[in-house]
Amino acid sequence: MYDMIIRAGRQGNGELIDIAIQDGKIAALSALPATAEAKQTLTLAGRVHVSAGWIDGHTHCYPASPIYQDEPDKIGVESGVTTVIDAGSTGADDVDAFQRLAADCKTRVHALLNISRIGLLRQNELANPADIDPALAQAAIRRHPNFIVGIKARMSGSVVGENGLQPLRIAKQIQRDNGDLPLMVHVGNTPPDLDEIVALLGDGDLLTHCFNGKPNRILTPAGELRVAVREALQRGLRLDIGHGSASFSFEVAEHAIRQGILPHTISSDIYCKNRIKGPVYSLAHVMSKFLVIGMTLEQVLSCVTHQAADALRLTGKGRLEVGADADLTLFELASGPTLFMDTETQSRSGDLQLLPLAALVGGDLVLTHYGKSHHVFCV
C-alpha cells in the first residue's frame, strides 16, 4: 500500500498522469492499476494540473532582514512553491540564524550566501571592501553545505560604490574555492556596465533581473541582444528573471522572447512589500505573465522545475520521475481576463492565470488559501 496516490493529474503538455508516493519519494508513475491502494488518494480527474514542485530561485525570506524580509512558508508552500532560495539576504555574519529558522519551515529553504559578510544589512553592502571576506564566506559554506547552494553578488552602482568590478572578481574567487558553486549576479544601474559584468561570467553563473528595463539591460537600443551577453550565454551563462519591484519590463521580455531569448529560470524576487502590494504577488502570478507574452505552459513550468533544479544543483527536485523527492505542485489554469503589470508602469491583458491549489513536500500535503476555498479535487 502506498502512502498516497494522485490520480489523473493533468501535466503541462495536457497528458494525464497517476503518481504514487511512498516514504516521501515518487514510487510509481503513469497509469496505475485501479487495484492500487493508498492511505490517501487525491482524485484530480483531469481537472487539476500537476507538476514537479515549483522552485523560486530568487526570493528574500529571512524574517530578520532589515531591508527585504518575508516568511518562507508564506511565499513557499502557502503559495504552491515547494522550494525557495533566499538570494543574498544573509552573509557569513547571520546565515547561521537563518539556517536555524529555515529548518522549522514546511517549505524547503536554501540560501545564496551574500559575498558581503553583513548581507543586506544596508543597501550598499559591497561598498566597504572590509565587508567582503572570502575566508568567512568559505567557513559559512562549509558549516552549511546543504543549506547554502550558491553565492550572490549585487553588481550595481548603488551597491558597490567605488569598488567597481572588484566585488565580482572576489565572488568568482569564492566560487572557485568552494566547488564552483552557482553564482547569481544582480544587474542594476551603472557602473559597472553590463558588458563588463558578463565578460567575467560563464558556466554555472546566473544573471538575475535579466529582463529589466533600465539602461543597463541585455538588449541594445535597437532591441538586439548585446554581443557580450550572447558570448556569455555561449559560455553557459543562465538568464534568471528576478522580477521584483523594479526589474521586469514587458517590452524587454517581449523583444527578447520574439528573438528566441528565453529565460532559463523564472523567479519572483519576492518579499513582503511586493507580495502584498504588487506587482509580484506570488511566483504563480509572475509565471502567468509569461503566458501572456508568448511562452507556453510547458516552457514556463520548465523554468520553475527541472531548469531551476539544474541551475541550483538541487538533486532529487524538479522532475516527475521514480525515486525523486515527492515535491509536487497542484494548480489550476484558470480562464478569465486579468491585468498584469510590470515594474515600468506598463500593463498587459491576459486570459489565463496559474492558481496554485496545493504543495506537497516530501509527500506532505499543504493546501493554499485558494485550495482551501475551492474543492476541486477529492481527498
Name residue 364's amino acid: D
| 230: its cell numbers | 550572447
Cα gap 98→44, rounded to integer Å: 37
Q: For residue 322, which of 32, 109, 33 has the smallest C-alpha distance?
A: 32
Residue 376's pLDDT is: 66
The pLDDT, as a whole number, for residue 373 is 87
The full length of the chain comes to 379
User: Can you give the C-alpha Rg of the chain in angstroms?
Assistant: 20
Residue 70's Cβ-side half-sphere holds a number of Cα atoms within 13 Å equal to 27
Contact 143, 175 (CB under 8 A): no
**How far apart are alpha carbons 290 and 14 in whole angstroms?**
18
Pull the grid cell for residue 136: 568567512
Distance CA(137)–CA(150), nearest Å, equals: 11
Q: What is the pLDDT of residue 377?
A: 66
Three-class SS of residue 308?
helix
Q: Percentage helix, strand, coil, to 5, in the chain?
A: 25, 30, 45
Q: Is the pTM of this model over 0.95?
A: yes
Contacts of 323 (CB under 8 A, 6+ apart): 25, 26, 316
Full pLDDT tens readout for the chain, 379 residues: 999 999 999 999 999 999 999 999 999 999 899 999 999 999 999 999 999 999 999 999 999 999 999 999 999 999 999 999 999 999 999 999 999 999 999 999 999 999 999 999 999 999 999 999 999 999 999 999 999 999 999 999 999 999 999 999 999 999 999 999 999 999 999 999 999 999 999 999 999 999 999 999 999 999 999 999 999 999 999 999 999 999 999 999 999 999 999 999 999 999 999 999 999 999 999 999 999 999 999 999 999 999 999 999 999 999 999 999 999 999 999 999 999 999 999 999 999 999 999 999 999 999 999 999 876 666 6
Residue 379: per-residue pLDDT = 62
Question: What is the phi/psi pair of residue 337, to 5°?
Answer: -65, 130
Buried b (16+ CB within 10 A) or exposed e, 351-360: eebbbbbbbb
